[in-house]
Amino acid sequence: MKSYDFVILGAGSAGCVLANRLSANPNFNVCLIEAGSKDSDMRLHVPLGFAFLGEGSKYSWNYNTEPQKEFEKVTLTETASEVVDSAGGLHEVESQTEEHRRGYQPRGKTLGGSSSINAMLYVRGHKWDYDHWAELGNEGWSYDEVLPYFKKAEHNEVFDNDFHGQNGPLNVTKIRHKNKFVDDFVKTGASVFGYNEDFNGESQEGIGYYQTTQKDGKRCSAAKAYLVPILDRNNLTVLTDTNVNKILVEGNKATGVLCINEEGEEFSIQATKEVLLSSGAFGSPQILLRSGIGPSDEITKHGIEHKIDLPGVGKNLQDHIDYLSVHKHKSVNLIGFSLGTIFFKFPYEILKYFLTKTGLFTSTVAEAGGFIRSRNDIPVPDIQLHFAPGMIVDHGRQQLWGTGISCHTCLLRPKSRGEVTLNSPSPSDDPKIDPKFLSHPDDMKDMVEGYKKMMKIMNKPPLSKYTSKHVHRPIDLDDDKDIEQAIREEADTVYHPVGTCMMGQDKMAVVDERLKVHKMDGLRVVDASIMPTLVGGNTNAPTIMIGEKASDIILEDWS
């Protein structure tokens, strides 16, 4: 059995940070384990490449949720079966059933995790979010205490002030793609809600352009930022195509992990100091449950020995519910498939990208947006907008002919709470994911109001000249029931699941403020699953911050 001081489970946004910071100490031997393959595909590095990965990509887990009871029902066609008629002939028949629509949950499965397949937006959330974490009893996690870790991670090419860092591993810059439609969105939105040049600065509210994790026109994933520069360290071992079955537990101490290699063979790795679980909001609770750590009823029903009682494992799942308004508009300068884009625009832009690393292929798709309030009586923005110069339907899985624009309405702090549990004890089975979207009635009310606020931008000149002639799903803005129906038909995640290994001190908390798993030694969780509540924005930058802060805590504990 090979032995390391620290064994990190998951090479996502937090895991890559841990591998870098811990292996910087030559006295520590570090092993980083990733279920996915190496990030060698060009589509993972060309910024717009993520839009061409396709459904079923090997670089994503491609999870589906349980049917969401608050979503509209859909008709499913079952696999054809054969029946025998009275004359003995065989006939294929199809059966149809109805169930509530399922959500789609792509998560990164490669070095860099979801930071290798996301839209690269650098957004930290609101100051209020972190102060709220501290108010919940998580000492050391207020905004003023986490800001130094955001700055430590960052090298910002645009801003150099009290809110931003220089010389950090993660490169943050502006998009190297100028688009008139995006400019018109910002101009129109700013006339309604005000302009904001920096969503990560002193104030978050307003409309503006997003900052992006890119460098020289290429994606700057957590792997590119933190892992690539240190792969030659002798005290760092990186294992890809390696699944984690479970954490090995003796008494109340994590001693190592049981893994499965690409050939399906099991092997064990010993952790002499700590196992660091960084497998994300779906993977981390799944591994804990398979290891016998969590609520007894969720574990023993799968024939797994229950070892540590922590009822909060897999609970408290929170995610950003999001609705897209899609509008068709003919223009070769928009992202989409038409004769003009296929035979003229794309060849030109491909050549431009490879020669100058600028243009359409540096796009994040969601290039601009903003933070607004669904109601005037709330203290901080609760709605996030993402504007895209392309038509996006069903996570891009439904290909539409032609070009157009889209705008997301995302609810930042939903009250609905879901859970992640096991489908079986097998590490090859997907977890059972039930976000319970819209299960709290306030969420729908806020979504409806947020949508109406967003449409104030979409229906105002100059943007309205692109939106007025065609709407993919027409909605009566004067009829809240029609808006609600559209949300039930099409709303889904915007890819920010958190909370399933909650940080805190109450009976449902899984880790303490130093991210140690309660009732255990030698085990921490370091990823977005520890967030007690969702932050008001995209979750990649906060997850990298968590990795930075956790690294300092661990180094301090073992100094």
CATH number at residue 399: 3.30.410.40
Give the distance, in angstroms, between the CA of residue 75 and the centroid of all CA atoms in the same chain: 28
Tell whether 383 is covered by a domain: yes
Same domain, 26 and 131: yes
Of 298, 286, 294, which is closest to residue 310 (Cα–Cα)? 294
CATH number at residue 137: 3.50.50.60
Tell whether 268 is covered by a domain: yes
The terminus-to-terminus CA distance of the chain in angstroms comes to 26
Of 282, 337, 327, which is closest to residue 114 (Cα–Cα)? 282
pLDDT at 95 (0 to 100): 62
Tell whether 228 is covered by a domain: yes
Tell whether 419 is covered by a domain: no
- SS3 annotation, 485-508: HHHHHHCEECCCCECCCCECCCCC
Same domain, 347 and 450: yes
The CA distance from 23 to 19, in Å, is: 6
Give the distance, in angstroms, between the CA of residue 295 and the centroid of all CA atoms in the same chain: 26
**CA dist list (Å): 252 to 249, 255, 274, 309, 503:** 7, 10, 13, 11, 19
Tell whether 95 is covered by a domain: no
Q: Which helix (H) or strand (E) holds 553?
A: helix 540-557
Number of domains, the chain = 2
The CA distance from 532 to 509, in Å, is: 8
Q: What is the pLDDT of residues 137-161, one digit of tens each?
A: 999 999 999 999 999 999 999 999 9
Could you give the 3-state DSSP secondary structure of residue 245?
Answer: strand
Tell whether 87 is covered by a domain: no
Of 247, 277, 284, 212, which is closest to residue 497 (Cα–Cα)? 284
Residues in the chain: 559
Same domain, 10 and 145: yes
Same domain, 364 and 252: no
Tell whether 425 is covered by a domain: no
Q: What is the pLDDT of residues 205-225, one digit of tens each?
A: 999 999 999 999 999 999 999
DSSP tag of 365: S
Same domain, 243 and 381: no
Same domain, 484 and 466: yes
Same domain, 455 and 515: no
Maximum CA extent, the chain: 83
Q: Which helix (H) or strand (E) holds 7?
A: strand 2-9
Same domain, 305 and 353: no
Do the Cβ atoms of 13 and 121 come closer than 8 Å?
no
The CA distance from 54 to 396, in Å, is: 8
Q: Bridge partners of 270?
A: 3, 256
Do the Cβ atoms of 533 and 413 come closer than 8 Å?
yes
Profile the chain (559 residues) by mean pLDDT over runs of 10 residues.
96 98 98 97 96 90 96 78 61 74 96 97 98 98 98 97 97 94 97 98 98 98 98 98 98 97 95 98 98 97 97 98 96 92 93 95 96 95 97 88 96 98 96 98 98 96 87 92 97 97 97 98 98 98 98 97
Same domain, 278 and 353: no
pLDDT at 82 (0 to 100): 61
Same domain, 463 and 502: no
Domain containing residue 387: 176-209+321-411+438-490
pLDDT at 81 (0 to 100): 58
Tell whether 420 is covered by a domain: no
Same domain, 304 and 398: no
Do the Cβ atoms of 258 and 246 come closer than 8 Å?
yes
Task: Tell me which of 164, 320, 327, 496 is the catalytic residue.
Answer: 496
Q: What is the pLDDT of residues 7-47, one digit of tens each?
A: 999 999 999 999 999 999 999 999 999 999 999 999 999 99
Which residues are within 8 A (CB) of 181 and not within 5 positions of it... i.e. 6 or more apart? 329, 331, 333, 334, 389, 405, 466
| 496 labelled catalytic | yes
Do the Cβ atoms of 171 and 157 come closer than 8 Å?
yes
Do the Cβ atoms of 477 and 262 come closer than 8 Å?
no
